[in-house]
Chain A
Amino acid sequence: MDDFERQLMQAMSRTDPPGAFEAKVLARVAREADGRSGLWRWFSRPVTLRWASVALALVMVATGVTWQRERERERGEQALAKLELALKITSEKLQKIDREIPK
């Protein structure tokens, strides 16, 4: 065994962590868990996330449908106003022409 192999074995050999290591890790986990709000913890649950996604999708669809209906209503009202104007002009012209025809 040459010097390099000896150094390698020494480096790879199993060493126990310092005595306070486990306690430190557990303390840190507990600290981080306490740091999150109750709402966040509730929200982070997979079931809640799923329902939140569904609700968001529903809200987006409802908003889209409402916007589309509103747009159609505006177009319909504009078309109706134009139709009223067109029929009024046509009727007035026909009436005028009719008056001018020698009876």
Chain B
Amino acid sequence: MKLAMIGFVCLLPMMAQDVKIPASIEKLADKASEVVDVTLDASLLQLAAKFLPANDPDTAQVKRLVSGLKGVYVRSFQFDKPGEYQASDVESIRSQLRGPNWARIVGVRKLKSGEHSEVYLRTEGGSITGLAVIAAEPKELTIVNINGPIRPEDLQELGGHFGIPKLDGESGRKNDSGKKDE
């Protein structure tokens, strides 16, 4: 019993780790016409933050945000024709986001166009420790996983700087009302 407890305690940090990008998703790069593959672990993020000018007010906020992050992972695939990826590929990601710390805050499904987008937040001890976005369209699939304290509002505040498009209106706000499927 004690051994099991020790094992569980040792496994806790691993359980709080990033969402794993399955091999089936990585293999989509072979079929895609355009691929964005960003993998930035904590050490690379710290290195990137070092090269942000500290005295520039535009980038100071980015620096502050980035310094708290542990990992940024983005996979975005654009395909020439629909049907290049399977629902099971997306499900392999989605199933990882059903963990106890993750909560889906937004879900938008458009039956006509076949688009299905979801935003998940991971909370631990009352604070946000991760953000995941799944944006599935017939000819495009984007998966974002940001490990660390980041809120959609943080990105909204960064709008207009650092290559991030300026968000209009109330964009980026946290939608606690949650699952809104069309």
Contact = CB atoms under 8 A, between A and B. Distances in A.
A95 B108 contact: no
B15 interface: no
Interface in B104-150: 106, 108, 110, 115, 117, 119, 131, 133, 135, 142, 144, 146
Interface stretch (B5-13, B38-46, B82-90): B38-46
A69 to B, nearest CB: 12
- SS of B interface (majority): mixed
A98 interface: yes
A71 to B, nearest CB: 11
| Residue of B164, B168, B175 with most chain A CB atoms under a 10 A cut-off | B164
Nearest to A103: B170
Interface in A41-97: 72-73, 75-77, 79-80, 82-97
Contacts of B40: 79, 82-83, 86
Given A73-B51, A75-B44, A100-B110, A87 B36 contact: no
A87 B47 contact: no
B22 interface: no
- SS of A interface (majority): helix
A89 to B, nearest CB: 6
Contact of A80 (B36, B51, B175, B182): B51
Interface string A15-28: 00000000000000
Q: Which of under 10, 10 to 19, 20 to 34, or 35 or more describes the interface residues of A?
A: 20 to 34
Given A90-B133, A91-B159, A94-B133, A100 B142 contact: no
B16 interface: no
A99 interface: yes
Contacts of B110: 100
Contact of A79 (B48, B159, B175): B48
| Residue of B38, B40, B108, B165 with most chain A CB atoms under a 10 A cut-off | B38
| Residue of B45, B51, B175 with most chain A CB atoms under a 10 A cut-off | B51
| Residue of B66, B144, B159 with most chain A CB atoms under a 10 A cut-off | B144
B38 A86 contact: yes
A94 B74 contact: no
B72 interface: yes
A98 B45 contact: no
A76 to B, nearest CB: 4
B57 to A, nearest CB: 17
Contact of A76 (B51, B144, B170): B51
- List the 3 shortest-distance A-B pairs measured between CB atoms, nearest first: A79-B48, A76-B51, A86-B38
